[in-house]
Structure 1
């Protein structure tokens, strides 16, 4: 892109001071930002459309977005630049800082904007035949560029360090309080703060709070679920232990009952066997007595019959002798 700077740039400086200035970027950072803008969807002005190109370009250049958030901050600051889409915003920044040629910018973006600097200053002399045009170089050094001087007045850091100057050593009576010195150092003047840095810090802090709240809610929900599962597991363990203890007691009681029943059956069997033996012995003794009585009666009857026969025979013999 070929554009020039005029010597008298009071109008352009007043116009640029009305909006937050984009910080000065190095050529390498400008190339990376240009690649991100070129890969963005055409006509898009939302910030989420740059996330995928941002990840791809940083991965292509072997940069870790978790460690280097410089380009993320620059994209946040670029979103505050006036323009209908990202190409137009980036073209305005390139026009202000003289970063690229017109052919290197995204298509259709350079024609829709007007450069903040005049194209040049022509000094015409009516008395002479020709005119002389003074045009600044395409990419001038930082010291000679009016726009770069203007942008360099804004620091990049949102809270810049206080520059220590060589001052005379104060006396004991004029030494300020430590708290006052700390407050004066920790709260820099608003003139040293870049509005883009302040807005980017505010945006980053809001997103950090949202992310912290989201993580806190997730961890709280996880802690609640874990506590519920722990209570359920504790209930299951306690109920399982009580059930096992009850089952052990019931099993022991059943074993004792079975043992008592077995002992009772054994004793009953032994008692029945003893009674059966006694009854059997008694019946056998009775039958033996009856047998002996019957045997004695039969023997006595046999002896009686034998004595009767002998008496009869002796009687018959005696009667025969007397008759003879």
Structure 2
């Protein structure tokens, strides 16, 4: 005998069966017990869904997102396929809450989640990490394609309409990070995407930024050298002397007197070698930089 198991919206998700070693008929009492057990299973399934779903937006809740994301990252590392993460939040969301009210703010969050979910694949993991912050795990997706997804989401969020009168248009800032850019677990991947998101904020909001590939460890940064170099920026109008300590085809390690005024992107020049490459800062402390050369 069996009783169908249905979700809250009436969709059949399985069957609870009772079997014996020999065929026989079930009396009314046994059928009633089976029905009761089926209702218990349905209730348990519903509770699990509620525990893993954000009640406001309908996307994956924070705890479940971290669990599912960790499994996805582990599989990607084990089977050596691409995986990327998108982190985004709504710009000036506090102003919306303070001006239009929390009901309007909640409506914006729910509408944004629905807008984004409609553009994502079933295999993507879309979660709300708290407040107006969301993250998405995209299996089998490299950085370039993840950046395209982020831009589509950004444009669709900006274009969405709201029923409430808001103090400004709804926009979002996006950070993108790929597993191949160095993170070895979900925490590092989220942190990398989050740093890129903060960079998007710094660039004026309502834009997408992809995390820069982390350079190799010191032992792989290239051969040890001791060369006089120049950090050139501001269209060649600003030059800071540096000492090149390591150099490879993909990056370099530089020593400087102070790194505070050095921008994120500049041109590294080694005059005696006739060397000049555009590069991006990947790591920085007070007196040293690790940079990645732009790839042509």
**Fold-level match, TM-score > 0.5?**
no
Normalising by structure 2, what TM-score? Answer: 0.20
Normalising by structure 1, what TM-score? Answer: 0.18
